[in-house]
Amino acid sequence: MILIKDKWTFKLNLSKYIIVFILVALMIFSGILSPAFLKPRNILNIFWQTSYVGIIAIGITFVMIAGGIDLSVGSMVALLGALAIQSVNKFGDSALSVFLSILLTYGLGILLGFGTGLLTTKGKIPAFVTTLGGMAIYRSLVLNFANGGVYMTISRKYSDIGMKFVLGLPLPMIVFIAYAIVAYILLDKTKFGRHVYAVGANETAALYSAIKVDMVRTLTYVVSGVSVATSAVLLSSMMSSVSSSSTGNGFELDAIAAAVIGGTSLSGGKGSVFGTFFGALILGVINNMLVMLNVAVYLQGMVKGLIIIAAVLLQNLRKE
């Protein structure tokens, strides 16, 4: 009996870890084709480059498990990044000013997440519509205040954050990993996390179990807002600028793709931070590999698409 049970959990784990195998296989494959790929420096770069979308993808995982979707994250990165930069410019180049600006950015991120949540739950507007609206509104605000141009800061204190190395590792990478661990605990080890799954799997059942469905849903958008704020601070400080027209473009699709590659269901109830973390890394490895292998410009989309489909297909085959 015990034997059978062990075998069963092993099998479950295997299907969970298959995404790690896919990642490793991709890396070995790229390493064979281009030895420079496996340089430690490049691996760090991949982590670094993935972190911005990766952090957002972790937030979106909460939203998607609870049965929602957030399309506004890309524009929100630009909006929050612009806010951070403008406040640093206003408050001056000091540690306190940077701290205040970041606080403000998180404040707006939480507020916007909360607003989206309320509109979706209390206003009964489908999340797709609320966040599609948000995507248009945030982008248009960013464009309007910059007149279509670029928000820039010359604050050294602020731009040092995004370029910082701690113990030889880029700060965005450290934040990404730490963020994933905290999110994992929140989703897998707390009551809130269990409620998120319950709401997404079966709303009626969740209601009968006295779960505050609307509250849980709303909070998932707040988590998404916090993730976007984190990403926005890291990205805008690294570039010391936010382009009102291009910063964050397409982040929403990459983040959703990372979550889905990691096994998050588009219809809610299923998913994990673990999966999303590696899903995001797979996307990062693909992007890096395209450059490393100098894949022909027009074929890059095809290569990317094929690998994504194959990654999800492999996981599905494993499950059966």
Partner 1 sequence: MRKFLVFLVLAIVVLSFAAKIRVGVAIPAADHGWTGGMVWWAQYAIKQYQNDPDVEFYLVTAKEPSEQIAQVQALMAKGIDALVINPYESAPLTPICVQAFRQGIFTVIVDRGINSEEYNCYIAGDNYMYGYLAGKYIAEKLKGKGNIVVIRGIPCSIDDERVQAFKDAISLYPDLKIIAEQPGYWSREKAFEVMQTLLTKFGTIDAVWTGDDDMLHGVLLALKQAGRDKNMVLVGGACEKNMVKMIMDGHPLIGVNFTYPPNMISTAINLAVMALRKQDLNGFYQRGIPRKIILATETVTKENAKDYYFPESVF
Identity of the amino acid at 259: A
Q: Which is nearer to partner 1, 223 or 239 (CB)?
A: 239
Rg (CA), the chain: 20
- Closest-CA residue to 266 (of 312, 303, 302): 312
Torsion angle (degrees, nearest 10) of CA 30, 36, 37, 40: 150
- What distance lies between CA 146 and its chain's CA centroid? 26
Please report the beta strands in the chain, taking only residues with DSSP state E, as ranges in sequence order: 150-152, 165-166, 169-170, 241-243
Q: Which is nearer to partner 1, 47 or 62 (CB)?
A: 47
Tell whether residue 167 is a contact of partner 1 (CB under 8 A).
no
| Interface with partner 1 (CB under 8 A), residue from 41, 124, 156, 191 | 41
Q: How far is the CB of 291 from partner 1 (least distance, A)?
A: 4
With tokens 């195998």, the residue in question is 21
267 binding partner 1? (CB under 8 A): no
Of 234, 239, 301, whose CA–CA distance to 53 is shortest? 234
Number of Cβ within 10 Å of residue 41's Cβ equals 8
Using CB under 8 A as the binding rule, the residues of this chain from 277 to 316 that contact partner 1 are: 287-288, 290-292, 294, 297-298, 300
Contact window for partner 1 (CB under 8 A) among 89-97, 110-118, 143-151, 303-311:
143-151
Q: Does the footprint of partner 1 cover residue 169 (CB under 8 A)?
A: no
Task: Determine which residue in the list 1, 2, 5, 147 makes contact with partner 1, applying CB under 8 A.
Answer: 147
Specify the DSSP class assigned to residue 295. Answer: -
Under a CB-based contact definition with an 8 Å cutoff, are residues 213 and 57 in contact? no
Could you say whether residue 230 binds partner 1 (CB under 8 A)? no
Token pair, residue 120, equals 């979706």
Question: Which residue from 36, 266, 302, 313 is in contact with partner 1, where contact means CB under 8 A?
Answer: 36
| Least separation in angstroms between CB 235 and partner 1 | 7
Based on the shown chain and the rule CB under 8 A, indicate whether residue 132 belongs to the binding site for partner 1. Answer: no
Rounded Cα distance, 240 and 156, in Å: 9
- Taking the complex as a whole, how short is the minimal distance between the CB of residue 297 and partner 1, in angstroms? 5
- Chain residues in the site for partner 1 (CB under 8 A): 34, 36-37, 39, 41-42, 45, 48-49, 143, 146-150, 152, 163, 235, 238-239, 241, 243-247, 249, 287-288, 290-292, 294, 297-298, 300
